[in-house]
Amino acid sequence: MPKLSIIIPCYYNEENIPVTSAELLENEKLFPKDVSFEYVMVDDGSKDNTWEELVKFREHNPDKVKIIKLAGNVGSYNAILAGMKYATGDCTVIISADLQDPPELMVTMYDYWQKGIKFVVANRQDRQESWSQKLFSNTYHNLIRKFALKTIPPGGFDYVLFDRQLRDEVVKIDEKNTNTIYLLAWLNYDFISIPYVRKKREIGVSRWTLSKKIKLFVDSFVAFSFAPIRAISITGVILGAIAFLYGLFVILAKMTGAVPIEGWTSLMVVFLFVSSFQMIALGIIGEYVWRTLDASRKRPNYVVEKVF
């Protein structure tokens, strides 16, 4: 009998849990009768009543619900990683707790897995969100496709189904400061992409702040691409060539006297420009170095407070 593990990271979702859990249980009816379900709910350090709602969900479904409480907020991707460690299914789904992703699509994803596809992606063809959210998301995913993971579908994805083999690989890697979902894509298994429209959030307020989005943007580039380092090298070569040509121009002008060389203002502008580039370059290199240091410390990505 195949078992499907459904991992749901939860952060300030006390209002969502009763609705989402009911939807997921109802969604089971769409699957073949021989499928068993395991819900791995991870409380990512919420300070509201999320944990209490998860406990209620488990009390009514003790045979299929596993709840994990993390000691503090470590971000959704680390919460997902914790869920992967405790999941035991033959295949696994990751879905959000706010029902922006349609649970019924899970049936199609499972059908593909039964046909031998070990990685199934539900990619966001469109989203019922504000233009600023769309702009950030589309820019982020387009840059990732261009400079890091070229095979991922446009629109990006968080809603995925994958085989136990992929889950075990990601848990074994245990990478820090990364996008756990895209780490699945990095494994380079063939995948099927199913487009869908991401719904507007109806319950609660998203805690996906701008600072978290920026961190994800930086983490993803550092984790999957050397493009920022290569950009520094190329820019340095270009600036060096310009400086060399300008130096030749100054020498020739001084020797011939054809053009008067003067102007501290232009010199300071050039100096400040090059200095700012150097500081940006040091910052980019520092991001790579800091993540190397963080990985070498071997501190855990998360601390589990309790598991039911």
Q: 216-245, pLDDT tens digit by residue?
A: 888 888 888 888 888 888 888 887 788 778
End-to-end CA distance of the chain: 24
Q: 21-39, pLDDT tens digit by residue?
A: 999 999 999 999 999 999 9
Closest CA to 98 of 210, 198, 13: 13
pLDDT band at 214 (very low <50, low <70, confident <90, very high): confident
pLDDT at 258: 67
Q: 82-107, pLDDT tens digit by residue?
A: 999 999 999 999 999 998 999 999 99
Q: pTM for the whole thing? A: 0.86
Is residue 4 predicted with pLDDT exceeding 90?
A: yes
> What kind and span of H or E run contains 149?
none
Q: Is 150 exposed, middle or buried (0-12, 13-18, 19+ CB in 10 A)?
A: exposed
Own/partner pairs, 44-47, CB within 8 angstroms, 24+ separation: 44/9, 44/10, 44/11, 44/70, 44/73, 44/74, 44/75, 44/76, 44/78, 44/79, 45/11, 45/70, 45/71, 45/72, 45/73, 45/74, 46/10, 46/11, 46/12, 46/13, 46/14, 46/73, 47/12
Looking at the chain, the whole-number percentage of residues with pLDDT higher than 70 is 95
Looking at the chain, the whole-number percentage of residues with pLDDT higher than 90 is 53
pLDDT at 291: 86
